[in-house]
Amino acid sequence: MRARSLAVVIVLAQGLCAPAALAQSGTLALTSTVSGVEAWVDEAPVGQLRSDAALVVSNLSAGPHRIVAKKGTRTWERAVPVAADERTSVQIQIDLVGQAPVLKHLAEVAALADTMYVVQPDFTQFRLGALRGLEKLLPEGALAVASTAEGDAITYRGPPPGGNTRLLFAPAADREDALRDLVFVASLARETAPSVQLPNVEQAMLQGGLGALDAHSAFLDRDTYGDMQVEISGAFVGIGIELTRKDQALSVVTPIEGTPAHRAGIQTGDRVVSIDGTLAAGMTLPDAVKRIRGRAGTKVTLGVLREEWDAPRDFELEREAIRVQSVQSRELEPGIGYVKIRQFQEKTADDLEAALAGWKNGPLRGLVLDLRNNPGGLLTAAVEVAEKFLQYGRLVVSTQGRVKGQSARFTASRKKAHTGLPIVLLVNGGSASASEIVAGALQDWSGALLVGSRTFGKGSVQTIIPLSDGAGLRLTTARYYTPKGRSIDGTGLEPETTVAAGTLTEQGAADPQLERALIELRTRVARQNGR
């Protein structure tokens, strides 16, 4: 059943019949079927409206008037023209009756954020983000959102005369307060833009609200949630690019080596400004990912802006099955190994152990561990990788959240580890999250040397939570700290030895960062051997 609305009906009239004691030549009559509504004409309060009330204000002059109605935390405003001998009716929707819009996921997500988010959420900010998300969804002019000194406000199309109505919200006292307002606005959205489906309204509000909390929390619809489960196992269809939202823009964390994005020359730090001709400025991260992915063999065009470019350039890329082999290894020279970890997946630690055991030319004397362009992955996989090089019982990483299960200390649990092995880690701006956990732990405990450039700086932990109907929620539930208590959120890890990366053309023949890492590792191996 479609939700119906109760209304405050404000009637402006010349010569309106009013109670004898108040009858004068110019009057304003306000009537309402909603209890608890207060009303103003211009700036003069006229009293409390009850379900049986009809208040009259005399001497209303011809000309524009500002009509204000208030109930609870919401305040409505309409600008109404009044001419002599003119009778004008103005309707302002105040409350809902009957069946309100069912926003099950919104209530579910807000409850999870209220209890599990890394800090107590500001539901006034959540509400504002949700309103901005809805503003982007609706047709232009249907809804305008503004944050003012008075509070958050929306302006929406209403019935004539008077045109638009402005609705001002007081700060949300709690989650339920914000949800009531959002359910009300969802009903307005269906009135102002009937062609927009309610699930789309809810999803726009969810993405906007979560985006107001932080750049990494997001609602995952059924398709996106299913894709994420597949991606954790290391296989998906796309172009091989890891994205994040940075400074209100879609930014490339890293292209996965050997994929269409990498072969085309897309680089860490590039900004995606359009997808198939649609501007990316208003897109949520899940929406952008969904647009980029598709069937193998189909094409997608990305508009990409690089810092040194004057204008965006188009990259037409053909989607293909992306199978990320998380660990690759080779021997650089006798006794010196090289291991590249592309992503932290379920079997990464097992693959790493197999690589470490696979050297053919004698025992391993030193290791270059390459974490460049590794966007992260599973926290558990990062801990399992780091503990292979740490003494039993050493702290790998600690996390701090609001709930008991999110504050934890992860320690090395292997009694046989490759302790004492000289290690040099390669990192860059594409090394994020789980990569930074491993790099920070080895730097703090084993004295591993970092070579390359500053890491990405993602110091938060996201929990993937299944929702009803097969959807999911990615929610920031904790911040993590290196064994020495360092937070790298927003700052990253600074290498002891900074080496600029060569261009893609140069790297086809040489890798200056790897070359420097090898020089540093030889020195460490020689020092350990007393030479």
Q: What residues act catalytically?
A: 433, 444, 458
Cβ(255)–Cβ(241) below 8 Å: yes
DSSP category for residue 377: B
Q: Which residue has the tokens 């983000």?
A: 129
**Two structure tokens written together for 484:** 């020495």
Nearest to 478 by CA among 459, 490, 461: 461
Cβ(429)–Cβ(378) below 8 Å: no
Residue 166 neighbours by CB under 8 Å, 6+ apart: 76, 77, 78, 153, 154, 155
Going from the C-alpha of 194 to that of each of 96, 138, 142, 205, the distances in angstroms are 17, 10, 11, 17
Q: Which residue has the tokens 């103003």?
A: 40
Return the H-helix or E-strand segment holding 521.
Answer: helix 512-528
SS3 21: helix
Give phi and psi for 215, each to the nearest 5: -80, -10
Distance CA 259, CA 319 (A): 9
* Beta-bridge mates of residue 54: 31
SS3 285: helix
**Two structure tokens written together for 429:** 């701006």
Nearest to 118 by CA among 377, 408, 400, 379: 400
Q: What is the CA radius of gyration of the chain?
A: 30
Distance CA 462, CA 472 (A): 12
Give phi and psi for 139, each to the nearest 5: -55, 150
Say how far residue 207 (Cα) sits from the centre of its chain. Answer: 7
Q: Which residue has the tokens 């030889």?
A: 522
Q: What would the 3-class secondary structure string for 311-359 be? A: CCEEEEEECEEEECCCEEEEEEECCEEEEEECCECCCHHHHHHHHHCCC
Cα torsion angle, 358, 361, 364, 367, sign: negative
Distance CA 1, CA 68 (A): 30
Q: What would the 3-class secondary structure string for 418-450 be? A: CCCCCEEEEECCCCCCHHHHHHHHHHHHCCCEE
Counts for the chain of helices (H) and strands (E), in that order = 12, 30
Furthest CA-CA distance within the chain:
110
